[in-house]
Structure formats: C-alpha cells, structure tokens
Amino acid sequence: MGSFDDLRVWREADFSGRMGWYRAVAANRLPAKFRLCAALPAGIALDAPEDDLWRALDAGTESMLALQARIRSDAAALPVQGVRPSLLDLCAELGRRMLAHCNFCRWDCRVDRTRGTKLGACKLASETRVSSYFHHGGEELVYRGTHGSGTIFFTSCNMRCAFCQNGDISTDRLNGEAVSARTLAAMAWILRREGCHNINWVGGDPTIHLHTILEAIALLPRFTPAENDIAAALPAKADWRMAFPAGRSCAEYAGAFNAPMLWNSNFFMSDEAMKLLRLTMDVWLPDFKFGPGRCAVELARTGWYWETVTANLRRLEEWGEDFTIRHLVMPGHVECCTAPVLDWIAGNMPEAPVNIMDQYHPDNYCETSNPKFMERFAVLARRPRREEILAAFRHAKQRGIRFEDLSYERNQTGLHL
Ligand code: SF4
C-alpha cells in the first residue's frame, strides 16, 4: 500500500491538509471511525425507546470525537475491542429503527419500510440490492489511487434526475442482486483485501439503503467471511477474476479489518442520517448539482434540494470532515446551476477541493434514441459546449475555488484554462 501514500496528489496543499484522516486510514496508519465506535460502549440497552437511543448517540458522539482527537495526535491507542453493545451497534440499531418510519432522507416519508405495504418516494421496502461492485479506476486520484476505489453500486435512488448518468441502476429497482448485511460486509472485505483504498458506498444513492450499510459496517470489526458469504457476494462482482490477490496486510489495523468508508451521495440525507454517518464515514464525496431555482424540481422532481444539500455540506465543513465536492456541468445550466453552486462554495468553504466535471452525456429521459426520451428535456439532449465548460472553469477561477487538480486530471474534453 506504500504506493498510495506516495501519490503526487498528497504533495499538493489542497489534499495534504484537508484529507489527512482519510489518507492515514487508507494506509492503515490509523483506525477507521467504525473501529473507534466499536471500541466505545453504547451506554444504553438497545431495546430502549428510540428517543433515548438518540440521546445516547449524542453522548457517544462526543466520546468518539474525543477519542479520535487523542488517537490522531498520538495521545492514545485504540482501546481493546469487544465491548457490547458498542456505539457502532447503536448506529446499526438506529438505522433499523428509522426504517420503520423511514426518514433516511429529506423526503421524510415516515413509511414503515419493514412492512412494505406503503412505499415512500424511493419506492423501496426493506430489501437492499447491489447492482455491481468492483475496483473503480475512474474516480478522482485521491480515491482510485493505484488499486482502485472499492465501489459498491446500490440499486435505486431518492431523486429522479431526468438525465441520470446511471439510469439503468437508479431507475430499475429490481436491478442487481438482493444482499444481506453479511453479504455486503463480505463485499467490502473482498474489495479491501484485494487492495482497494476505500469502501465507496454509491448508487443510485446509498442513503436509501442506510439500514443495511450500517448493519454491514457493524459486522466488519470482527468479520471473517465464511465460504457461503463469499459465494453470496461473488455474483455481483464485476471484476470477479481479481478476487483475492492481495492479502490481509493491506486491510488491517491492530489485527482487525480496517478501511476508510467513503460516502458518495447526492447529499439529500436527513439530519438523523447525517448523525449516523458522522460516526461511520471517514471521507465524503458530495454531489452538488442544482442551483437554488426551480431546476431541481423541474429536472429531478426534488423539492428542498438547495437547502438540504447546502445544510449538509455546511455540517461537513463545521465538523472538520475530509471531503471533496463534485459538480457536473449540464448543457444550458451554467448560469442557473453551475454559477450559484460555485458561488456558494466560494462563500462558505473556499478551501474545499471541487471537481467540475465535463463528462455529461445525454442519457435516460434526455437521450433522443432512448424510448424513455421526453420532449420537455430536449434542452439536455446534447453534450455541454466547449464554451460552457470553459465558462464554468473561468467562474471557478474568478471565485478562487480550488478546482484545477481534480477537474483537469482526467477530464474527457481535455479543456482547461
Ligand atoms: S429513503 Fe427517503 S425516499 Fe425512501 S422512504 Fe425513506 S425518506 Fe422516503
């Protein structure tokens, strides 16, 4: 794993200062947050009323942050694991409780997904499906490194972007394989043991599968997959011929499984989901798509977009989390979406590294050759023009945004200022 630590990107100020926790966990010099949570007591019986569980989580968060600070400054070692129920068990239990009145995301549907008789905006009951998982070589260098980002693509989404670039996954809720928490843990275990630098939870969107993800992460501190776990995990592996070349040395800290958890999402999560993710995610990859006008409603049928995503981004900054932001330049949406998104970032988190992406292609309801094409999305049925991409870069430059390293590194058009 030495080569990950030697990436040239760590010599650049944008990343060396802001991504230190993630980098150290990826290189197994520090334990991931889920390992810290596994070492701390929940401080409550898990059959307690939900309000009491949330109060215990707030107290546990303070303990976890204090432990993280001590470990980070070398003032403490990771406590011996094995406390039950742990703060990590509490996170998984709260995920299960939330599922029964689902408020994982801002839709706040309050449906009981354990029964599945009434569905919310995501149209899901309790089942979690994985479309595929593999070593992703197309993510930003800080994530793909030398061995790839261990990416797990979940089926379905809580937004309805007409142009979705992953429409086959996000709009087909039966896509992929149904997975249990154990199968999901086995997928993460396989990817990390094969040398992936992180476990990249993505979709569709991962938020709508929060219960299964938290349950899987809660298994990982003591996890060794059995033969049947591996057998259940392999069918969805898109690069299955790579299975198991590397070994445990790239996947352990203090004798147990270790990997940075990466939340790669549309960021339409609820406040409660953010609290649970704060304890379990080591690095974040928010997608910031739409401006504050009507575009999120008209193109993605999503209300409260701007206020939800900006509130969640602001939290990351206040919490001192490691993150980079993505913004996809959409044709005809530079003034209404790209400019206000970049202005907001410049005004609220000017040091945040931003990837201004130029790879938009017409897809889903915006692609004229697709049977799903809708005339009202015709404005999005083309790639962005050269001038639109350059206008986005110029705007970012004028506002002092740190975007060059991420945006120019592998952009499809090859354009740069
Ligand atoms: S995940 Fe979001 S969209 Fe789905 S039921 Fe829960 S609150 Fe509604």
User: How far is Cα 71 from Cα 37, in angstroms, rounded to an integer?
Assistant: 13
* pTM for the structure as a whole: 0.96
Instruction: Give every CB contact of residue 55 below 8 A, 6+ residues apart in sequence.
Output: none
Res. 407: pLDDT tops 60: yes
**DSSP H or E segment with residue 277:** helix 271-280
Is residue 109 lining ligand 1, measured as CB closer than 6 Å? yes
Higher pLDDT among residues 409 and 356, named by residue? 356
What three-state secondary structure class fits 353? strand
Return the pLDDT at 258. 97
Closest atom of ligand 1 to 107 CA is 7
- Ligand 1 pocket test: pick from 107, 113, 119, 170 the residue with the most ligand atoms within 8 Å of its Cβ: 107
What three-state secondary structure class fits 351? coil
User: How far is Cα 69 from Cα 140, in angstroms, rounded to an integer?
Assistant: 27
Q: What number is the average pLDDT over the span 179-189?
A: 98
Going by alpha carbons, the residue nearest to atom 1 of ligand 1 is 208
User: How far is Cα 257 from Cα 35, in angstroms, rounded to an integer?
Assistant: 9
Residues 329-360: pLDDT tens digits? 999 999 999 999 999 999 999 999 999 999 99
Nearest to 171 by CA among 264, 300, 281, 54: 300
Is residue 107 lining ligand 1, measured as CB closer than 6 Å? yes
Closest atom of ligand 1 to 270 CA is 7
Is residue 105 lining ligand 1, measured as CB closer than 6 Å? yes
Return the pLDDT at 167. 82
The residue assigned the tokens 């479309």 is 131
Return the pLDDT at 52. 98
Q: What number is the average pLDDT over the span 196-220?
A: 97
Would you call the peptide bond into 85 cis, given omega within 30 degrees of 0 as the criterion?
yes
User: How far is Cα 2 from Cα 195, in angstroms, rounded to an integer?
Assistant: 11
Cα of 126 to ligand 1 centre, how many Å? Answer: 11
Going by alpha carbons, the residue nearest to atom 4 of ligand 1 is 122
Q: Contact, 26 vs 192, CB < 8 A?
A: no
Residues 363-400: pLDDT tens digits? 989 999 999 899 999 999 999 999 999 999 999 999 99
Return the pLDDT at 1. 47
DSSP 109-178: ----TTT-SS--TT---S-EEEEEEEEESSS-HHHHTTT-EEEEEES--SS--TT-TTHHHHS-TT-SEE
Interhelix angle 339-348/386-398, nearest 10 degrees: 20
Q: What number is the average pLDDT over the span 279-302?
A: 97
Is residue 103 lining ligand 1, measured as CB closer than 6 Å? yes
Closest atom of ligand 1 to 268 CA is 2
Return the pLDDT at 401. 97
Cα of 118 to ligand 1 centre, how many Å? Answer: 11
Is residue 122 lining ligand 1, measured as CB closer than 6 Å? yes
Instruction: Give every CB contact of residue 40 below 8 A, 6+ residues apart in sequence.
Output: 60, 63, 64, 67, 79, 83, 86, 87
Nearest to 387 by CA among 397, 398, 395: 395
* Beta pairing, strands 256-257 & 252-253: antiparallel
Is residue 22 lining ligand 1, measured as CB closer than 6 Å? no
Res. 232: pLDDT tops 90: yes
Query: What's the whole-number average pLDDT of the chain?
Result: 94
Per the document, the length of the chain is: 417
- Could you tell me where the DSSP H helices lie in 6-111? 13-16, 20-26, 33-38, 50-72, 87-99
Q: What number is the average pLDDT over the span 258-279?
A: 98
Instruction: Give every CB contact of residue 288 below 8 A, 6+ residues apart in sequence.
Output: 267, 309, 313, 325, 326, 327, 341, 345
User: How far is Cα 346 from Cα 352, in angstroms, rounded to an integer?
Assistant: 9
Lowest mean pLDDT among 78-87, 150-159, 265-274: 78-87
- Ligand 1 pocket test: pick from 101, 103, 109 the residue with the most ligand atoms within 8 Å of its Cβ: 109
Cα of 360 to ligand 1 centre, how many Å? Answer: 27
At residue 15 the predicted structure's pLDDT band, cuts being 50, 70 and 90, is confident
Cα of 290 to ligand 1 centre, how many Å? Answer: 20
Going by alpha carbons, the residue nearest to atom 5 of ligand 1 is 120
- Ligand 1 pocket test: pick from 119, 158, 272, 276 the residue with the most ligand atoms within 8 Å of its Cβ: 158
Percentage of the chain beyond pLDDT 90 is 86
At residue 213 the predicted structure's pLDDT band, cuts being 50, 70 and 90, is very high
Lowest mean pLDDT among 11-25, 242-256, 330-344, 403-417: 242-256
Residue type, 213: I
Cα of 109 to ligand 1 centre, how many Å? Answer: 6
Is residue 154 lining ligand 1, measured as CB closer than 6 Å? no
User: How far is Cα 267 from Cα 19, in angstroms, rounded to an integer?
Assistant: 19
* Beta pairing, strands 283-286 & 261-265: parallel
Return the pLDDT at 168. 84
Cα of 122 to ligand 1 centre, how many Å? Answer: 5
Q: Which two tokens stand for residue 89?
A: 């068990």
Return the pLDDT at 296. 97
Q: What number is the average pLDDT over the span 59-74?
A: 96
Residues 17-56: pLDDT tens digits? 889 999 999 999 999 999 999 999 999 999 999 999 999 9
Residues 317-327: pLDDT tens digits? 999 999 999 99
Cα of 240 to ligand 1 centre, how many Å? Answer: 32
